[in-house]
A = this chain, B = another copy of it.
Amino acid sequence: MSRQAAIIGGGVIGGGWLARFLLNGWDVAIFDPDPEAERKISEVLANARRSLPGLYDAALPPEGQLRYSRTIEDAVRDAQWIQESVPERLELKHDALRKIQAAASAGAVVGSSTSGFKPSDLGARLQRPGQVLVAHPFNPVYLLPLVEVVPHAGAEPAFVERAMETLRSIGMMPLHLRREIDAHVADRLLESVWREALWLVKDDVATTSDIDDAIRFGFGIRWAQMGLFETYRIAGGEAGMAHFLAQFGPCLQWPWTRLTDVPDLDATLIGKISSQSDTQSGARSIRELERLRDDNLVAMMRALKGRDWASGRTHREHDARLRGRVAAPDWSQPVETAARTVPVDWTDPDGHMNEARYCELFSDAADRLLELIGCDSGVPARGGRYVTAESHLQRLAEARLADRVRVTTQLLASAGDRLHLFSRMHAAGGRLLATAEQLLVHVTLATRRASPPAEALQARLREIQSLHAALPRPEALYCGRKTPGG
Protein backbone atom coordinates (compact mmCIF):
# COMPACT_ATOMS: atom_id res chain seq x y z
CA MET A 1 0.00 0.00 0.00
CA SER A 2 1.46 3.34 -0.96
CA ARG A 3 1.93 5.78 1.87
CA GLN A 4 1.44 9.46 1.29
CA ALA A 5 2.93 12.42 3.09
CA ALA A 6 2.15 16.09 2.56
CA ILE A 7 4.80 18.70 3.24
CA ILE A 8 3.49 22.23 3.83
CA GLY A 9 6.38 24.65 3.53
CA GLY A 10 9.52 23.60 1.63
CA GLY A 11 12.38 25.49 3.26
CA VAL A 12 15.44 23.79 4.74
CA ILE A 13 13.29 21.96 7.31
CA GLY A 14 10.34 21.12 5.07
CA GLY A 15 12.70 20.06 2.30
CA GLY A 16 14.52 17.80 4.76
CA TRP A 17 11.25 16.13 5.81
CA LEU A 18 10.31 15.71 2.19
CA ALA A 19 13.62 14.00 1.41
CA ARG A 20 13.34 11.69 4.42
CA PHE A 21 9.80 10.54 3.53
CA LEU A 22 10.56 10.20 -0.17
CA LEU A 23 13.77 8.22 0.30
CA ASN A 24 11.94 5.92 2.70
CA GLY A 25 9.47 5.04 -0.03
CA TRP A 26 6.59 7.42 0.71
CA ASP A 27 4.82 9.36 -2.02
CA VAL A 28 5.08 13.03 -1.17
CA ALA A 29 3.02 16.07 -2.13
CA ILE A 30 4.63 19.42 -1.40
CA PHE A 31 2.99 22.82 -1.13
CA ASP A 32 5.16 25.92 -1.04
CA PRO A 33 4.13 29.22 -2.68
CA ASP A 34 7.78 30.34 -3.10
CA PRO A 35 8.49 30.47 -6.87
CA GLU A 36 11.99 29.20 -6.04
CA ALA A 37 10.65 26.24 -4.04
CA GLU A 38 11.28 23.62 -6.70
CA ARG A 39 14.93 24.61 -7.14
CA LYS A 40 15.54 24.80 -3.40
CA ILE A 41 13.90 21.45 -2.77
CA SER A 42 15.80 19.75 -5.54
CA GLU A 43 19.02 20.93 -3.90
CA VAL A 44 18.06 19.53 -0.50
CA LEU A 45 16.98 16.33 -2.21
CA ALA A 46 20.31 16.05 -4.02
CA ASN A 47 22.12 16.32 -0.69
CA ALA A 48 19.86 13.70 0.87
CA ARG A 49 20.25 11.26 -2.04
CA ARG A 50 24.00 11.63 -1.74
CA SER A 51 24.19 10.91 1.99
CA LEU A 52 21.16 9.14 3.47
CA PRO A 53 21.15 5.82 1.58
CA GLY A 54 24.79 5.16 2.48
CA LEU A 55 24.00 5.55 6.16
CA TYR A 56 22.36 2.13 6.04
CA ASP A 57 23.82 -1.28 5.36
CA ALA A 58 20.61 -2.35 3.67
CA ALA A 59 18.91 -0.79 0.67
CA LEU A 60 16.21 1.80 1.20
CA PRO A 61 12.95 1.02 -0.60
CA PRO A 62 12.43 2.51 -4.06
CA GLU A 63 11.88 6.26 -3.83
CA GLY A 64 8.30 7.45 -3.71
CA GLN A 65 6.70 9.85 -6.17
CA LEU A 66 7.12 13.58 -5.64
CA ARG A 67 4.28 15.90 -6.61
CA TYR A 68 4.15 19.71 -6.41
CA SER A 69 0.72 20.91 -5.29
CA ARG A 70 -0.71 24.34 -5.95
CA THR A 71 -2.87 24.36 -2.86
CA ILE A 72 -2.66 23.03 0.67
CA GLU A 73 -5.96 21.26 0.10
CA ASP A 74 -4.63 19.34 -2.88
CA ALA A 75 -1.44 18.40 -1.05
CA VAL A 76 -3.04 17.00 2.08
CA ARG A 77 -6.11 15.26 0.70
CA ASP A 78 -4.86 11.67 0.68
CA ALA A 79 -1.99 12.01 3.14
CA GLN A 80 -1.50 9.86 6.24
CA TRP A 81 1.15 12.27 7.53
CA ILE A 82 1.05 16.02 7.04
CA GLN A 83 4.07 18.03 8.14
CA GLU A 84 3.71 21.77 8.60
CA SER A 85 7.00 23.70 8.30
CA VAL A 86 5.87 27.25 7.53
CA PRO A 87 7.80 30.19 9.05
CA GLU A 88 7.79 30.55 12.83
CA ARG A 89 4.91 33.04 13.19
CA LEU A 90 1.83 31.92 15.04
CA GLU A 91 -0.69 33.50 12.67
CA LEU A 92 0.95 31.74 9.71
CA LYS A 93 0.89 28.44 11.59
CA HIS A 94 -2.78 28.92 12.49
CA ASP A 95 -3.72 29.74 8.93
CA ALA A 96 -1.87 26.73 7.51
CA LEU A 97 -3.23 24.33 10.13
CA ARG A 98 -6.81 25.49 9.57
CA LYS A 99 -6.50 24.88 5.84
CA ILE A 100 -4.87 21.51 6.49
CA GLN A 101 -7.66 20.35 8.78
CA ALA A 102 -10.35 21.51 6.38
CA ALA A 103 -9.08 19.12 3.67
CA ALA A 104 -7.23 16.36 5.48
CA SER A 105 -8.53 13.02 6.62
CA ALA A 106 -9.49 13.13 10.29
CA GLY A 107 -7.20 10.14 10.92
CA ALA A 108 -4.08 11.75 9.45
CA VAL A 109 -1.30 12.90 11.74
CA VAL A 110 -0.54 16.60 11.45
CA GLY A 111 3.00 17.27 12.65
CA SER A 112 4.29 20.78 13.17
CA SER A 113 8.00 21.54 12.87
CA THR A 114 7.65 24.51 15.21
CA SER A 115 10.74 25.13 17.28
CA GLY A 116 9.03 27.43 19.72
CA PHE A 117 5.25 27.02 19.99
CA LYS A 118 3.42 24.66 22.29
CA PRO A 119 0.69 22.32 21.01
CA SER A 120 -1.84 24.37 22.99
CA ASP A 121 -0.71 27.48 21.06
CA LEU A 122 -1.05 25.67 17.74
CA GLY A 123 -4.42 24.10 18.54
CA ALA A 124 -6.00 27.21 20.03
CA ARG A 125 -8.30 27.94 17.10
CA LEU A 126 -8.61 24.50 15.51
CA GLN A 127 -11.61 22.22 15.22
CA ARG A 128 -9.59 19.10 16.11
CA PRO A 129 -6.64 20.35 18.16
CA GLY A 130 -5.74 16.81 19.22
CA GLN A 131 -4.84 15.97 15.62
CA VAL A 132 -1.87 18.36 15.67
CA LEU A 133 1.32 17.44 17.47
CA VAL A 134 4.68 19.09 17.62
CA ALA A 135 7.17 17.01 15.64
CA HIS A 136 10.25 19.15 15.90
CA PRO A 137 13.22 17.83 13.88
CA PHE A 138 16.86 18.90 13.59
CA ASN A 139 18.73 20.05 10.55
CA PRO A 140 19.65 18.14 8.39
CA VAL A 141 16.29 16.45 8.86
CA TYR A 142 17.15 13.68 6.39
CA LEU A 143 20.13 12.60 8.53
CA LEU A 144 19.66 13.48 12.20
CA PRO A 145 17.39 11.02 14.00
CA LEU A 146 16.00 13.26 16.76
CA VAL A 147 12.42 14.52 16.56
CA GLU A 148 10.81 16.02 19.65
CA VAL A 149 7.19 14.90 19.86
CA VAL A 150 4.82 16.95 21.99
CA PRO A 151 1.18 15.88 21.66
CA HIS A 152 -1.76 18.15 22.37
CA ALA A 153 -3.43 17.50 25.73
CA GLY A 154 -6.49 16.27 23.82
CA ALA A 155 -4.63 13.65 21.75
CA GLU A 156 -5.55 9.97 22.08
CA PRO A 157 -2.63 7.82 23.32
CA ALA A 158 -3.12 5.39 20.41
CA PHE A 159 -2.88 8.29 17.97
CA VAL A 160 0.36 9.44 19.57
CA GLU A 161 1.80 5.93 19.48
CA ARG A 162 0.88 5.64 15.81
CA ALA A 163 2.67 8.93 15.13
CA MET A 164 5.76 7.75 17.02
CA GLU A 165 5.77 4.48 15.08
CA THR A 166 5.52 6.32 11.77
CA LEU A 167 8.52 8.45 12.69
CA ARG A 168 10.48 5.32 13.62
CA SER A 169 9.49 3.76 10.30
CA ILE A 170 11.32 6.56 8.47
CA GLY A 171 14.43 6.04 10.59
CA MET A 172 13.89 8.71 13.25
CA MET A 173 14.19 8.68 17.04
CA PRO A 174 11.01 10.30 18.39
CA LEU A 175 11.49 11.72 21.87
CA HIS A 176 8.10 11.97 23.53
CA LEU A 177 7.98 14.97 25.87
CA ARG A 178 5.37 14.63 28.58
CA ARG A 179 4.95 18.32 29.27
CA GLU A 180 4.60 21.15 26.82
CA ILE A 181 6.89 24.13 27.20
CA ASP A 182 7.97 26.98 24.95
CA ALA A 183 10.82 25.79 22.68
CA HIS A 184 10.57 22.19 23.94
CA VAL A 185 13.85 20.82 25.35
CA ALA A 186 16.71 20.81 22.85
CA ASP A 187 16.20 24.38 21.70
CA ARG A 188 16.11 25.63 25.26
CA LEU A 189 19.57 24.12 25.74
CA LEU A 190 20.73 25.54 22.43
CA GLU A 191 19.26 28.90 23.27
CA SER A 192 21.20 29.07 26.52
CA VAL A 193 24.46 28.33 24.69
CA TRP A 194 23.56 30.85 22.04
CA ARG A 195 23.01 33.61 24.59
CA GLU A 196 26.27 32.86 26.35
CA ALA A 197 28.10 32.75 23.01
CA LEU A 198 26.69 36.14 22.06
CA TRP A 199 28.18 37.61 25.23
CA LEU A 200 31.57 36.03 24.55
CA VAL A 201 31.70 37.51 21.06
CA LYS A 202 30.33 40.88 22.14
CA ASP A 203 32.86 41.12 24.98
CA ASP A 204 35.75 40.10 22.67
CA VAL A 205 36.60 37.10 24.82
CA ALA A 206 36.43 34.79 21.80
CA THR A 207 35.70 34.87 18.09
CA THR A 208 33.05 32.71 16.44
CA SER A 209 35.85 30.43 15.30
CA ASP A 210 37.27 30.12 18.85
CA ILE A 211 33.84 29.23 20.18
CA ASP A 212 33.25 26.66 17.46
CA ASP A 213 36.63 25.07 18.18
CA ALA A 214 35.94 25.07 21.92
CA ILE A 215 32.83 23.05 21.10
CA ARG A 216 33.91 20.61 18.40
CA PHE A 217 37.33 19.61 19.76
CA GLY A 218 35.95 18.98 23.24
CA PHE A 219 32.49 18.54 24.66
CA GLY A 220 30.81 18.43 21.24
CA ILE A 221 32.45 15.07 20.52
CA ARG A 222 31.29 13.74 23.87
CA TRP A 223 27.74 14.89 23.25
CA ALA A 224 27.44 12.94 20.01
CA GLN A 225 27.29 9.81 22.14
CA MET A 226 26.42 10.62 25.75
CA GLY A 227 24.56 13.64 27.02
CA LEU A 228 25.16 16.08 29.85
CA PHE A 229 24.10 13.88 32.73
CA GLU A 230 25.67 10.61 31.68
CA THR A 231 28.92 12.47 30.98
CA TYR A 232 28.84 14.07 34.43
CA ARG A 233 27.98 10.76 36.03
CA ILE A 234 31.23 9.42 34.63
CA ALA A 235 33.15 12.54 35.67
CA GLY A 236 31.86 12.02 39.20
CA GLY A 237 33.60 8.67 39.14
CA GLU A 238 33.47 6.35 42.08
CA ALA A 239 32.06 8.93 44.48
CA GLY A 240 28.75 8.85 42.62
CA MET A 241 26.34 11.33 41.11
CA ALA A 242 24.97 12.84 44.33
CA HIS A 243 28.47 13.63 45.61
CA PHE A 244 29.39 15.12 42.24
CA LEU A 245 26.28 17.30 42.22
CA ALA A 246 26.81 18.52 45.77
CA GLN A 247 30.24 19.80 44.67
CA PHE A 248 28.57 21.74 41.89
CA GLY A 249 26.29 23.64 44.22
CA PRO A 250 28.70 26.39 45.24
CA CYS A 251 29.87 26.90 41.64
CA LEU A 252 26.38 27.96 40.65
CA GLN A 253 26.82 30.95 42.91
CA TRP A 254 29.99 31.99 41.08
CA PRO A 255 29.71 34.81 38.58
CA TRP A 256 30.76 32.59 35.69
CA THR A 257 28.05 33.30 33.23
CA ARG A 258 26.08 36.38 32.56
CA LEU A 259 22.95 34.28 32.91
CA THR A 260 22.51 34.15 36.60
CA ASP A 261 18.99 33.07 37.43
CA VAL A 262 19.60 29.56 38.72
CA PRO A 263 17.59 26.99 40.64
CA ASP A 264 18.69 26.04 44.14
CA LEU A 265 20.68 22.85 43.89
CA ASP A 266 19.23 21.69 47.20
CA ALA A 267 18.85 18.15 48.56
CA THR A 268 15.53 17.71 46.77
CA LEU A 269 16.92 18.58 43.34
CA ILE A 270 20.11 16.60 43.95
CA GLY A 271 18.02 13.59 44.98
CA LYS A 272 15.83 13.90 41.91
CA ILE A 273 18.74 14.11 39.50
CA SER A 274 20.64 11.26 41.17
CA SER A 275 17.64 9.00 41.09
CA GLN A 276 16.87 9.80 37.44
CA SER A 277 20.52 9.24 36.60
CA ASP A 278 20.42 5.85 38.33
CA THR A 279 17.41 4.88 36.25
CA GLN A 280 19.14 6.06 33.10
CA SER A 281 22.67 4.72 33.57
CA GLY A 282 22.74 2.74 36.80
CA ALA A 283 22.79 -0.66 35.10
CA ARG A 284 26.40 -0.02 34.16
CA SER A 285 29.36 0.67 36.43
CA ILE A 286 31.41 3.82 35.98
CA ARG A 287 34.26 1.74 34.50
CA GLU A 288 31.91 0.19 31.96
CA LEU A 289 30.57 3.61 31.05
CA GLU A 290 34.11 4.94 30.69
CA ARG A 291 35.00 2.15 28.27
CA LEU A 292 31.82 2.62 26.27
CA ARG A 293 32.51 6.35 26.12
CA ASP A 294 36.12 5.81 25.05
CA ASP A 295 35.15 3.28 22.38
CA ASN A 296 32.54 5.68 21.01
CA LEU A 297 34.96 8.60 21.00
CA VAL A 298 37.71 6.63 19.27
CA ALA A 299 35.33 5.26 16.64
CA MET A 300 33.85 8.71 15.90
CA MET A 301 37.16 10.54 15.87
CA ARG A 302 38.60 7.91 13.55
CA ALA A 303 35.57 8.46 11.32
CA LEU A 304 36.43 12.18 11.34
CA LYS A 305 40.03 11.26 10.48
CA GLY A 306 38.69 9.72 7.31
CA ARG A 307 37.14 13.12 6.54
CA ASP A 308 40.27 15.04 7.65
CA TRP A 309 38.00 17.28 9.69
CA ALA A 310 37.83 18.77 13.22
CA SER A 311 39.40 16.42 15.81
CA GLY A 312 40.07 13.97 12.98
CA ARG A 313 42.51 16.46 11.49
CA THR A 314 44.33 16.81 14.84
CA HIS A 315 44.80 13.06 14.95
CA ARG A 316 45.98 12.89 11.33
CA GLU A 317 48.56 15.53 12.09
CA HIS A 318 49.72 13.47 15.04
CA ASP A 319 49.97 10.41 12.76
CA ALA A 320 52.27 12.36 10.46
CA ARG A 321 54.32 13.44 13.48
CA LEU A 322 54.58 9.84 14.70
CA ARG A 323 55.57 8.57 11.25
CA GLY A 324 58.18 11.28 10.97
CA ARG A 325 59.99 9.71 13.93
CA VAL A 326 60.43 6.35 12.21
CA ALA A 327 63.92 5.67 10.84
CA ALA A 328 64.39 5.22 7.08
CA PRO A 329 63.84 1.57 6.08
CA ASP A 330 66.56 -0.95 5.36
CA TRP A 331 65.58 -1.67 1.77
CA SER A 332 67.44 -4.98 1.66
CA GLN A 333 64.81 -6.44 4.01
CA PRO A 334 61.00 -6.67 3.83
CA VAL A 335 59.92 -3.11 4.58
CA GLU A 336 57.97 -2.25 7.71
CA THR A 337 54.78 -0.87 6.21
CA ALA A 338 52.54 -0.83 9.27
CA ALA A 339 53.15 -0.68 13.01
CA ARG A 340 49.97 0.03 14.87
CA THR A 341 47.46 -0.93 17.50
CA VAL A 342 44.15 -2.63 16.68
CA PRO A 343 41.52 0.11 17.25
CA VAL A 344 38.05 -0.46 18.59
CA ASP A 345 36.34 0.28 15.27
CA TRP A 346 38.21 -2.66 13.77
CA THR A 347 36.81 -5.17 16.24
CA ASP A 348 33.58 -7.06 16.84
CA PRO A 349 31.79 -6.92 20.21
CA ASP A 350 33.98 -9.79 21.46
CA GLY A 351 37.10 -7.75 20.71
CA HIS A 352 38.26 -9.79 17.69
CA MET A 353 39.62 -7.91 14.71
CA ASN A 354 37.08 -8.10 11.88
CA GLU A 355 38.25 -9.95 8.80
CA ALA A 356 37.65 -6.96 6.52
CA ARG A 357 40.10 -4.97 8.63
CA TYR A 358 42.90 -7.36 7.73
CA CYS A 359 42.33 -6.16 4.16
CA GLU A 360 42.35 -2.59 5.38
CA LEU A 361 45.63 -3.10 7.22
CA PHE A 362 47.26 -4.66 4.14
CA SER A 363 45.80 -2.00 1.89
CA ASP A 364 47.20 0.71 4.16
CA ALA A 365 50.52 -1.17 4.14
CA ALA A 366 50.68 -1.08 0.33
CA ASP A 367 49.91 2.67 0.44
CA ARG A 368 52.67 3.13 2.98
CA LEU A 369 55.20 1.26 0.81
CA LEU A 370 54.35 3.54 -2.10
CA GLU A 371 54.64 6.57 0.14
CA LEU A 372 58.08 5.44 1.33
CA ILE A 373 59.12 5.01 -2.29
CA GLY A 374 57.92 8.52 -3.00
CA CYS A 375 54.61 7.70 -4.69
CA ASP A 376 52.16 9.22 -2.25
CA SER A 377 48.59 8.38 -3.19
CA GLY A 378 47.56 11.65 -1.58
CA VAL A 379 49.22 13.63 -4.37
CA PRO A 380 46.80 13.61 -7.29
CA ALA A 381 49.03 16.12 -9.10
CA ARG A 382 51.15 13.09 -9.93
CA GLY A 383 48.58 12.18 -12.55
CA GLY A 384 48.44 8.49 -11.69
CA ARG A 385 48.20 6.05 -8.83
CA TYR A 386 48.35 2.36 -8.06
CA VAL A 387 45.10 0.51 -7.41
CA THR A 388 44.81 -3.09 -6.23
CA ALA A 389 43.36 -5.31 -8.92
CA GLU A 390 43.68 -8.61 -7.13
CA SER A 391 44.56 -9.83 -3.68
CA HIS A 392 44.85 -13.11 -1.84
CA LEU A 393 44.53 -13.11 1.91
CA GLN A 394 45.28 -15.86 4.41
CA ARG A 395 44.45 -15.53 8.08
CA LEU A 396 46.39 -17.81 10.37
CA ALA A 397 45.56 -16.46 13.81
CA GLU A 398 43.42 -13.83 15.42
CA ALA A 399 44.30 -10.31 16.46
CA ARG A 400 42.38 -8.57 19.21
CA LEU A 401 41.50 -5.07 20.38
CA ALA A 402 44.58 -3.09 21.49
CA ASP A 403 47.04 -5.70 20.12
CA ARG A 404 50.12 -4.20 18.56
CA VAL A 405 50.64 -5.53 15.06
CA ARG A 406 53.28 -5.02 12.42
CA VAL A 407 53.32 -5.56 8.67
CA THR A 408 56.36 -6.07 6.47
CA THR A 409 56.14 -5.98 2.71
CA GLN A 410 58.27 -7.64 0.08
CA LEU A 411 58.35 -6.47 -3.51
CA LEU A 412 57.95 -9.59 -5.67
CA ALA A 413 57.93 -7.94 -9.08
CA SER A 414 57.47 -4.65 -10.83
CA ALA A 415 57.05 -4.40 -14.58
CA GLY A 416 55.24 -1.82 -16.68
CA ASP A 417 51.99 -0.93 -15.00
CA ARG A 418 52.12 -3.95 -12.62
CA LEU A 419 53.39 -4.14 -9.07
CA HIS A 420 53.33 -7.45 -7.19
CA LEU A 421 53.62 -7.36 -3.38
CA PHE A 422 53.64 -9.87 -0.56
CA SER A 423 52.98 -8.73 3.00
CA ARG A 424 53.10 -10.46 6.35
CA MET A 425 51.26 -9.36 9.46
CA HIS A 426 52.94 -10.20 12.76
CA ALA A 427 51.87 -9.97 16.38
CA ALA A 428 54.08 -8.02 18.79
CA GLY A 429 55.84 -11.26 19.78
CA GLY A 430 56.63 -12.04 16.15
CA ARG A 431 53.93 -14.66 15.50
CA LEU A 432 52.63 -14.63 11.90
CA LEU A 433 48.94 -13.67 11.94
CA ALA A 434 48.12 -13.25 8.27
CA THR A 435 49.58 -12.81 4.81
CA ALA A 436 48.45 -10.89 1.76
CA GLU A 437 49.51 -11.13 -1.82
CA GLN A 438 48.54 -8.04 -3.79
CA LEU A 439 48.67 -7.24 -7.47
CA LEU A 440 48.54 -3.52 -8.10
CA VAL A 441 48.02 -1.74 -11.41
CA HIS A 442 49.09 1.81 -12.07
CA VAL A 443 46.29 3.89 -13.59
CA THR A 444 46.22 7.39 -15.04
CA LEU A 445 43.86 9.40 -12.90
CA ALA A 446 42.31 11.30 -15.80
CA THR A 447 41.42 8.23 -17.83
CA ARG A 448 41.36 5.59 -15.06
CA ARG A 449 43.27 3.38 -17.52
CA ALA A 450 46.35 1.27 -16.85
CA SER A 451 49.64 2.99 -17.68
CA PRO A 452 53.21 2.67 -16.37
CA PRO A 453 54.25 5.18 -13.71
CA ALA A 454 56.88 7.85 -14.27
CA GLU A 455 60.33 6.55 -15.23
CA ALA A 456 61.97 7.73 -11.97
CA LEU A 457 59.48 5.69 -9.96
CA GLN A 458 59.95 2.65 -12.20
CA ALA A 459 63.71 2.89 -11.67
CA ARG A 460 63.23 3.07 -7.90
CA LEU A 461 60.97 0.02 -8.00
CA ARG A 462 63.48 -1.94 -10.10
CA GLU A 463 66.17 -1.10 -7.57
CA ILE A 464 64.10 -2.41 -4.65
CA GLN A 465 63.04 -5.44 -6.68
CA SER A 466 66.66 -6.40 -7.23
CA LEU A 467 67.36 -6.07 -3.48
CA HIS A 468 64.25 -8.09 -2.60
CA ALA A 469 65.11 -10.78 -5.17
CA ALA A 470 67.57 -12.10 -2.58
CA LEU A 471 64.80 -12.64 -0.02
CA PRO A 472 63.00 -15.99 0.35
CA ARG A 473 59.79 -16.00 -1.70
CA PRO A 474 56.38 -17.25 -0.56
CA GLU A 475 55.79 -20.92 -1.36
CA ALA A 476 52.60 -20.31 -3.28
CA LEU A 477 51.43 -17.34 -5.31
CA TYR A 478 47.90 -16.83 -6.57
CA CYS A 479 47.46 -13.45 -8.22
CA GLY A 480 47.74 -12.52 -11.89
CA ARG A 481 46.76 -15.91 -13.29
CA LYS A 482 43.30 -15.67 -14.72
CA THR A 483 40.31 -13.45 -14.94
CA PRO A 484 37.55 -14.55 -12.61
CA GLY A 485 34.50 -16.49 -13.70
CA GLY A 486 31.77 -14.14 -14.87
A219: min CB distance to chain B, Å: 6
Q: Assess whether B303 is in contact with A300, with CB atoms less than 8 Å apart.
A: yes
A253: min CB distance to chain B, Å: 12
Chain B: CB-nearest residue to A143: B297
Query: Does residue A395 face the partner (Cβ distance < 8 Å to B)?
Result: yes
Q: Assess whether B297 is in contact with A309, with CB atoms less than 8 Å apart.
A: no
Query: Does residue A461 face the partner (Cβ distance < 8 Å to B)?
Result: no
* In the complex, chain B residues whose CB is within 8 Å of the CB of A248: 194
Q: Assess whether A202 is in contact with B269, with CB atoms less than 8 Å apart.
A: yes
Q: Assess whether B51 is in contact with A301, with CB atoms less than 8 Å apart.
A: no
A432: min CB distance to chain B, Å: 6
* In the complex, chain B residues whose CB is within 8 Å of the CB of A50: 291, 294, 401-402
Interface size for A (C-beta < 8 A) is: 190
Q: Which of A329-349 contact B (CB under 8 A)?
A: 339-346, 349
Q: How far is the CA of A325 from the CA of B211 in the complex (A)?
A: 45
* In the complex, chain B residues whose CB is within 8 Å of the CB of A448: 398
* In the complex, chain B residues whose CB is within 8 Å of the CB of A185: 200, 205-206, 210-211, 214
Q: Assess whether B51 is in contact with A298, with CB atoms less than 8 Å apart.
A: yes
Selected from B144, B296, B472, the residue in CB contact (under 8 A) with A309 is B296
Chain B: CB-nearest residue to A485: B474
Query: Does residue A372 face the partner (Cβ distance < 8 Å to B)?
Result: no
A272: min CB distance to chain B, Å: 6
* In the complex, chain B residues whose CB is within 8 Å of the CB of A138: 218-219, 222
Q: Which of A192-242 contact B (CB under 8 A)?
A: 192-230, 234-235, 237
Q: How far is the CA of A304 from the CA of B380 in the complex (A)?
A: 31
A378: min CB distance to chain B, Å: 8
Q: Assess whether B196 is in contact with A192, with CB atoms less than 8 Å apart.
A: yes
Q: How far is the CA of A138 from the CA of B486 in the complex (A)?
A: 55
Chain B: CB-nearest residue to A234: B139
Knowing A59-B404, A143-B298 are in contact, say whether A216-B221 is a contact too (CB < 8 A). Answer: no
